[in-house]
Amino acid sequence: MSVIRFDCKTNQEWRAERAHSIGASSVGILIGENHFTTPMELAQRMRAELGGEFDYTQTLPMMRGHAYEQGVADLFEWQTGHQVIKSSSAEYLLRRDDIPFMHASPDRTYWIDENGTKHGKNAEFNKGILECKTTRRPIDPDDLPLSWIFQLQVQMGISGYRQGFIAWDVLTNPDGFGYQFFEYSEEIFSAAVEVCREFWQNCILGGKDPEPVNARDIIRKYPSHITGKTITASQDTIALLSELKELKATKKELETEIDEMTDKVKAMFTDEEAMIDMDGHVLATYKASAGRKTVDSKKLQSDYPEIYEEVLKQSAGSRTLSIK
C-alpha cells in the first residue's frame, strides 16, 4: 500500500481531481449524519462531476468555513502549543493505491513533537492531522458530531498518520473554541471503507440512486404523481397522519388568533413609528416599507406577446401534501 499525493494549483483543479473519488468529508453523508446533503444528492452530484459538469457556486457558509480555517488553526496552535505546518494549507489530495475510490484532503497538519524529525521522509511519522470546524450550534466536547469523527478517521486512514485533532469554533459563543484529540481507529476506518466501496460501485459506477431519505429526495426521484395510483397506509402511518392533522388545525387556530391580535395593535397606531412604555422603552414599531416595482405580466402578455414568450421561464413543478 502506498499513498499518492496530488498537488493542485487552483480550487477548480482540486475539485476536478476530487470528482474521481469519495472525500473524507462525504462519509458523514453516507452514514446519515449530514443534515444538509443526502446520499442521493451526493450520488447525482458526483456522477455529474465525473461527466465534467461542475457547479462552482460558493455559498456564504462554504466561504466562511474555508476563510475561518486559518483562524481555528491559529487558536489551536495558541491553545495546545503544537506548531501547525504552514505548507499544509495548500490545495492537495491524498489517495491510497489499494482504495483509489476514496481520498483525503486535510485542513492542516501539525508537528507532534517539536523536537522530533522535521525533514526527510521520516518527518511524516512526526505529523498529525488537524480538522478545523466552524459552526453556529452548541458543541459538546464529549459528544462531537459523528460526521466530524468519521472524517478525521478517514483522513488518518488514508494519509497514514496515526493521531489528530478536531478543533472547532462556535461563532455564536465568545467562548466557543474547543479541541479534541483522537488516535487512529482501524475499526472506524474499515467500516467507512466498506460504506464507500458499496456507494462507489453501486451508485457512482453503477448509476443507481440510493433510497430516498427525505422529501427532497422524493421530489428528485418522483417529481410528479401517477393519476389513480394509491399506497396503502399502515396503522402507524394512519396515527401519524391523524396527529399531523390535529397539529395543523391547532396551528391554523393559533395563526388566526395571532392575526387578530396583530390587527388590534396596528389599529392603535396612526402615523406614529413606535409604541413605548411609561419609561420610554420601545415595545413595538409599525414602519412603512419602501414600495417596489413589479412587472405587470398580464399586460406584458397582452400587449407584447413575443417579448412575453421570450422572457417566460418554466420552473420545476412541485408536489403538495394534503391531509384529508
The architecture that CATH gives domain 3-220 is Alpha-Beta Complex (3.90)
Q: What is the pTM of this model?
A: 0.78
Query: What cell numbers appear for 228 in the block?
Result: 389513480
Query: What cell numbers appear for 127 in the block?
Result: 505529523
Q: How far is CA 141 from CA 8, 32, 167, 184, 206, in A?
A: 34, 21, 10, 18, 39
The b-or-e profile of 147-184 (16+ CB within 10 A means b, else e) is bbbbbbbbbbbbbbbeebbbbbbbeeeeebbbbbebeb
Could you read off the pLDDT tens digit of each residue along the chain, which spans 324 residues? 899 999 988 888 888 899 999 999 999 999 999 888 999 999 999 999 998 888 877 777 777 777 889 999 999 999 999 999 999 999 999 999 999 999 999 999 999 998 888 888 889 899 999 999 999 899 999 999 999 999 999 999 999 999 999 999 999 999 999 999 999 999 999 999 999 999 999 999 999 999 999 988 898 888 888 999 999 999 999 999 999 999 999 999 999 999 999 999 999 999 999 999 999 999 999 999 887 888 888 888 888 888 888 888 777 667 777 777
Q: How far is CA 230 from CA 214, 220, 234, 317, in A?
A: 20, 19, 13, 20
What's the rounded Cα separation, in Å, for the pair 68 and 144?
A: 19
Long-range contacts of 245-251 (CB under 8 A, 24+ apart): 245/323, 248/323
Q: What is the pLDDT of residue 138?
A: 93
3-state secondary structure of 79: helix
Pairing label, strands 108-111, 163-170:
unpaired
Q: Which of 150, 192, 199 is nearest to 44 (CA)?
A: 199
Domain positions in the chain are 3-220, 235-311
- Quick one: how far is CA 316 from the chain centroid? 23
Q: What is the pLDDT of residue 317?
A: 66
Q: How far is CA 256 from CA 243, 246, 259, 260, 262, in A?
A: 20, 15, 5, 6, 10
Q: What is the pLDDT of residue 64?
A: 78
Q: How many CB atoms lie within 10 A of CB 73?
A: 21
What is the 8-class DSSP label of residue 234? P
CB 141 within 8 A of CB 175: no
